[in-house]
């Protein structure tokens, strides 16, 4: 247990010991021993319950940071020294709370607005901002370090520009197995429209927008490219050309993609993915921009500390490490390691949609998409 946030309540340890005693004791002894242990366990469990809910107040401030699983893994496992640094600088501890993914995170934020669950949120992105910013769940904040260079990453004014601070950006894009294309003699595709051509029949796998975050971004990419009236026909032709829809990124990248032994050399992933596999490349003309934001949750008792944490997340120091989370820094003073710059290029003109447009149409688009894909 290397992190303060992972401290184990004493009660739980006791319970664990008790349970192991149960296994050893029951061998050959009277069964009553088990039953007594069990009742003891139940009461201990109840004790643990009350202890867990009571242990919130103490002298030093503990900020609760609410985020999604992939950022939590980065913060606590890949780079635990970053939060430790924040605690050293400010004396504020950070406890990380985790939601499944970006959509659940936004939902939980909205649904708990009358009894907030944390002080700071990270992980609201371009696709979910529209769900959150109109709901009066955030407090306005802008880091002093945020200048004109970073303003392009702000949400449109009136749609959350003052509420959410941009921290990182990444692009969902199609990746290809360069080795496969080199040895098969087929020319590498470049655009979304290429996937409708006969020579790329059955070569691509993307993910389901109703269950997968990159899948949703890809649907938005096709809407941004072909327009609100044109994307439906694109998808009919896309599926008609035997392209596959997998449930999620894992299934697509680790089973269907040729690099994992699958049948398809074109896969939906991120523009940063080639940093981890030199035999792949991102098709940057298919890239869709996702910016991730942090914000202060309304109702926090520790507004000053919350502001300090967001400023820390925006700082060049923090952002120079953020590539390990597979994204690029927003702060123009932050650096990206050289081997990254060699393998990954940031798309010049990524596709994007306005968050308000997304929120207005998400339901209709998804239902429409499901009809097209389901009927296929």
Partner 1 sequence: MGVALSLGFIGIFFLWPVLKVIGLGFFGEFGGLNIESAIEILQRPRTLRALSQTLAQAGVASIVAAVIGIPLAFLLYRFRFPGRDLFRSLVIVPFVMPTVVVGTAFNSLLSESGWLGSLGMAGSFPAVVAALVFFNISVVVRTVGASWEQLDTTQEEAAASLGAGRIRVFATITLPRLFPAIASSFAIVFLFCATSFGLVMTLGGPAITTIETEIYFMTVQLLDLQAASVLSVLQFAVVLLALGLSAWLRRRTGGVAVALASRTMRLKLKNWPLVLLGIAVLTALALPLANLVQRSFTGVEGFTLQYYRNLFDSGQQLSVDAAGALWNSLQAATLASAIALSIGIISALTLNRLATRHRFASATLDTIMMLPLGISTVTVGLGFLLALNTPPFDLRSSAILVPIAQSLIALPLVLRVLLPVLNRINPRLRQAASSMGAAPWQVVRDVDLRMSIKPIAAGFGFAFAASLGEFGAAVFLARADRPTLPVVIYRLLGRPGAENYETALAASVLLAVMTIAVIMLAERASKGVSGVF
**Smallest distance from partner 1 to CB 105, Å:** 9
C-beta of residue 185 within 8 angstroms of C-beta of residue 341: no
- How far is residue 224's CA from residue 10's CA, in Å, rounded to a whole number? 53
Confirm or reject binding of residue 182 to partner 1 (CB under 8 A). Answer: no
Question: Which one, 121 or 154, has the nearer CB to partner 1?
Answer: 121
Task: Please pick, from the candidates 145, 182, 186, 260, the single residue that binds partner 1 as defined by CB under 8 A.
Answer: 260
Task: Please pick, from the candidates 92, 133, 165, 273, the single residue that binds partner 1 as defined by CB under 8 A.
Answer: 273
The residues in 205-224 that bind partner 1, with binding defined as CB under 8 A, are 208, 210-211
Question: Which one, 1 or 144, has the nearer CB to partner 1?
Answer: 1
What tokens does 54 get?
A: 């009571």
Largest separation between any pair of C-alpha atoms in the chain = 75
Number of neighbours of residue 326 by Cβ within 10 angstroms: 18
Phi first, then psi, for residue 296 (nearest 5°) are -90, 130
Task: For residue 293, give the DSSP letter.
Answer: E
Confirm or reject binding of residue 308 to partner 1 (CB under 8 A). Answer: no
Task: Please pick, from the candidates 10, 52, 151, 227, the single residue that binds partner 1 as defined by CB under 8 A.
Answer: 52
The residues in 93-152 that bind partner 1, with binding defined as CB under 8 A, are 95-101, 103-104, 107-108, 110-112, 115, 117-118, 131
Question: Which one, 24 or 349, has the nearer CB to partner 1?
Answer: 24
Confirm or reject binding of residue 187 to partner 1 (CB under 8 A). Answer: no
Question: Which one, 5 or 154, has the nearer CB to partner 1?
Answer: 5
Confirm or reject binding of residue 301 to partner 1 (CB under 8 A). Answer: no
**CB contact set of 90 (below 8 Å; sequence gap of 6+):** 305, 308, 312
Confirm or reject binding of residue 45 to partner 1 (CB under 8 A). Answer: yes
Size of the site for partner 1 (CB under 8 A): 93
- How far is residue 230's CA from residue 226's CA, in Å, rounded to a whole number? 5
Host H or E run for residue 177? strand 165-177
Question: Which one, 79 or 354, has the nearer CB to partner 1?
Answer: 79
Confirm or reject binding of residue 241 to partner 1 (CB under 8 A). Answer: no
**Smallest distance from partner 1 to CB 129, Å:** 14
The residues in 6-35 that bind partner 1, with binding defined as CB under 8 A, are 6, 8-9, 12-13, 15-16, 18-19, 23-24, 26-32, 34-35
Task: Please pick, from the candidates 133, 269, 284, 290, the single residue that binds partner 1 as defined by CB under 8 A.
Answer: 269
Task: For residue 266, give the DSSP letter.
Answer: E
CA-based nearest residue to 174, from 239, 258, 273, 269: 269
**Smallest distance from partner 1 to CB 324, Å:** 9
C-beta of residue 175 within 8 angstroms of C-beta of residue 282: yes
Report how far apart the first and last C-alpha atoms of the chain are (Å, whole number). Answer: 49
- How far is residue 13's CA from residue 27's CA, in Å, rounded to a whole number? 23
Q: Which residue has the tokens 């890239």?
A: 287
Confirm or reject binding of residue 370 to partner 1 (CB under 8 A). Answer: yes
Phi first, then psi, for residue 64 (nearest 5°) are -100, 120
The residues in 327-366 that bind partner 1, with binding defined as CB under 8 A, are 362-363, 366
Phi first, then psi, for residue 227 (nearest 5°) are 85, 165
- How far is residue 132's CA from residue 154's CA, in Å, rounded to a whole number? 15
The residues in 60-99 that bind partner 1, with binding defined as CB under 8 A, are 64, 66, 69-70, 72-73, 76-78, 95-99
Phi first, then psi, for residue 254 (nearest 5°) are -105, 0
Q: Is 267 helix (H, G, I), strand (E, B) or coil?
A: strand
Task: Please pick, from the candidates 4, 21, 48, 162, the single residue that binds partner 1 as defined by CB under 8 A.
Answer: 48
Confirm or reject binding of residue 4 to partner 1 (CB under 8 A). Answer: no
166 strand-pairing partners: 293
Confirm or reject binding of residue 265 to partner 1 (CB under 8 A). Answer: no
Confirm or reject binding of residue 373 to partner 1 (CB under 8 A). Answer: yes
**Smallest distance from partner 1 to CB 221, Å:** 17
């Amino acid at each position: 247990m290397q992190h303060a946030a992972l401290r184990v309540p004493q009660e739980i340890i006791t319970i664990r010991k008790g349970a192991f005693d149960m296994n050893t004791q029951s061998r050959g002894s009277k069964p009553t021993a088990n039953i007594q242990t069990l009742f003891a366990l139940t009461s201990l469990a109840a004790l643990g319950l009350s202890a867990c809910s009571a242990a919130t107040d103490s002298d030093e401030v503990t900020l609760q940071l609410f985020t999604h699983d992939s950022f939590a893994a980065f913060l606590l496992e890949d780079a635990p020294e970053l939060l430790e640094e924040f605690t050293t600088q400010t004396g504020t501890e950070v406890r990380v709370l985790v939601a499944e993914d970006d959509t659940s995170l936004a939902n939980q934020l909205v649904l708990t607005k009358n009894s907030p669950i944390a002080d700071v949120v990270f992980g609201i992105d371009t696709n979910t901002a529209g769900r959150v910013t109109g709901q009066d769940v955030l407090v306005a904040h802008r880091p002093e370090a945020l200048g004109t260079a970073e303003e392009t990453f702000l949400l449109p004014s009136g749609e959350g520009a003052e509420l959410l601070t941009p921290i990182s950006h990444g692009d969902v894009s199609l990746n290809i197995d360069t080795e496969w294309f080199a040895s098969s003699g087929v020319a590498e595709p470049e655009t979304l429209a290429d996937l409708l051509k006969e020579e790329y029949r059955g070569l691509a796998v993307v993910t389901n927008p109703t269950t997968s975050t990159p899948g949703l971004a890809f649907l938005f990419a096709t809407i941004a490219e072909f327009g609100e009236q044109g994307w439906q026909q694109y998808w009919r032709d896309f599926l008609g050309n035997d392209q596959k829809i997998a449930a999620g990124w894992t299934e697509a990248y680790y089973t269907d993609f040729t690099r994992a032994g699958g049948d398809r050399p074109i896969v939906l992933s991120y523009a940063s993915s080639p940093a981890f596999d030199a035999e792949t490349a991102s098709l940057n003309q298919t890239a869709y921009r996702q910016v991730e934001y942090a914000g202060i949750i309304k109702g926090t008792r520790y507004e000053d500390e919350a502001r300090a944490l967001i400023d820390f997340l925006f700082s060049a120091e923090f952002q120079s490490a953020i590539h390990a989370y597979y994204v690029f820094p927003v702060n123009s003073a932050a650096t990206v390691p050289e081997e990254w710059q060699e393998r990954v290029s940031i798309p010049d003109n990524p596709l994007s949609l306005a968050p308000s447009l997304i929120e207005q149409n998400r339901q209709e688009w998804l239902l429409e998409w499901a009809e097209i894909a389901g009927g296929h």
